[in-house]
Structure formats: C-alpha cells, structure tokens
Structure 1
Amino acid sequence: MPCNQVPSIRRHKAQARITILFALIALALTALPTVSFAGTDTAGNVLATEVDSTPSGIEGDLYWAGQSLNLDDASIGRDIIAAGENLSIRDCTVGGAVRLAARTIDIAKTAIDGSVTVAGQHVVLNTGSTANCFYAAGETVALRGSAKSAALAGDTVTIDGTVDGDVEVWA
C-alpha cells in the first residue's frame, strides 16, 4: 500500500475489502448445497463438505463448506476457500491464498505462500505459521506467527508474532 495515502483512505480500502469478503462468503454459503459433494475437476480443484474425508495432496484449489473443518498435514497447491463454524488448519502447506469465514479460525504451523484473509469471532494465525499478508476481522484477533504485512480489526487485537512490513490495527 502506498505510503502517501492518508489514513482515512487506507481505512476505507481495508473496510471495503472486509465488506467484499463478507459478501463473497454470504454468496458461497447460499450457493453451495447442503448435501455432500466431493470431487476434483479437470483443473485439479476440489469441492468438499465436512462429510467428505479430509482432503490432502490437492493440486489446485480447495473449496469447502460445513460446520467443522480440521485440515491436518495437507498440501494444497493453490488456494483454500472455506466457510463454516470451526476451521482449523495445522501442519499444512498452501501454495496460494487462504480465504476463511467462521466463528473460530485457528491456523497453526502452516506455511502459506499467499495472503490470509479471514473473518470470524475468534481468529488466530498461530505460532509456527507464515503468510505473505494477514488480513483479519473478528471479535478477537491474534497474530502469533509471522507475516510480511497485516491489517487487523477487532474488539481485541493481539500481535505476539513478527510482521516484517506495515501493520494496520483497528481495535
């Protein structure tokens, strides 16, 4: 983000990004059926629900919706896009970005090449996790891992990790 922008413009851009994230999540939750559907398309993308087994070794994107997702020791080639009540990602590698919406989000010991954009009640990028950027909105937001930049909004925001660049906080 350019340094010559006034804070109100930066704040407006961050709020616009968060609004777009919520709109996309609402669209995904209404558009995705509640029945189980797991499958890999010709591009290597996987569509899954919580009824499906835990995906691993996905070449493309992972699209997931359900109540609880526990993704452990998986390799995702590109992006993770998920919505649910509880989302936990542990000991994973992600070649792209992570976009999540849930009540509770916990990302631990995970290497993410792209950005992390999340919205939830309780959100944490835990120790041992790395991301290019960490954008988070929630009641409680914690950055305990490391990121190159961060934009965090919440009632309580905790930074107990490392940010190599810019940090914006609304708390």
Structure 2
Amino acid sequence: MKRLAFYTIGFACLAFGIATPGWAEETRCISISGAIAGSIVGPTSVLGTVTGSLQGATQATITKQEKGEDRVDLELKHIFVTESRDTLQTRDKALWIPIPGRSGVYHMSTQYKVTGGTGRFAEATGTFKNHGEADTHQGLVTLAYSGQICGVAP
C-alpha cells in the first residue's frame, strides 16, 4: 500500500507540474542598464567603455547604412566583453536623427537583439535599447542602455 501511495503522489506531481529540485530549470532574466562611452575608430567601427550591468568594453560594427534627408538608418552588430570575460553578441537597428544647429551631431537610438554569448551569457536571449548622442566631428558616441536579458547564468 505504501508503494502505491508513493507512485500515486509521484504521478500527481508530474501531472500537475509540481517542480522538484533538479527536474526543471527556471529561466533567469535580469534587468540591465548602464552607459557606453564610445570612440568612432573607422568608417564602420566604434570601440567603447561600458559601465553598469555589462561593465567592460564593446565593439560595434556598422553592417548597413542608409542616409535619408532627415535621418540615418543603421544596422550593426555588437560584441560586449565584460570584466569577467563573458561575452554578449547582438544584431541591432539604430536611428540617427540630426540635432538642429549642431552639424554632424545626431540623437541616436538603438534596438539590440541578443544573438549569442559565452560564459554566463552562453544561453542568453532578449532585447535592450539605448539612447544618446553621436558626434561625428569629434568621433564620440555617448549612450545610456537598458532592457532585459533572459537565460543568464548566475
């Protein structure tokens, strides 16, 4: 009778989704935020220092650029390298809008889509965004980022 009760309880746990340690892994999501201070180092490349949740460095590569009369649309890819040597890769779409009266200076906003990573970001998914300013005359990019990434190891 005890054996039957044990099997009945075990089956009920499985049928109703009652988790027991080790049987199901929970997806871990984290909110991220911080700032990026970048330097334009070539026609399609920006290197930057990252503070906040992704503290470390980043490299952006412009893969496509379309100039309109009142905007510049960009497609980019980024690699973030944290101080602990974890990496996070993204594919992005950015919009630059000229700031009136400031030649070569743009308001910048970017939508990042996580495409891969290593270390604690090996299984990462999610999106985040930035907003800030790009000054093409001085070669500077100053941005704030925020969003959520899931599948992050502790």
TM-score between both structures, scaled by the size of structure 1: 0.25
TM-score (norm 2): 0.27
Q: Which structure: larger Rg?
A: 2
- More strand per residue: 2
Tell which has more relative contact order, 1 or 2 (C-alpha 8 A, sep 6+): 2
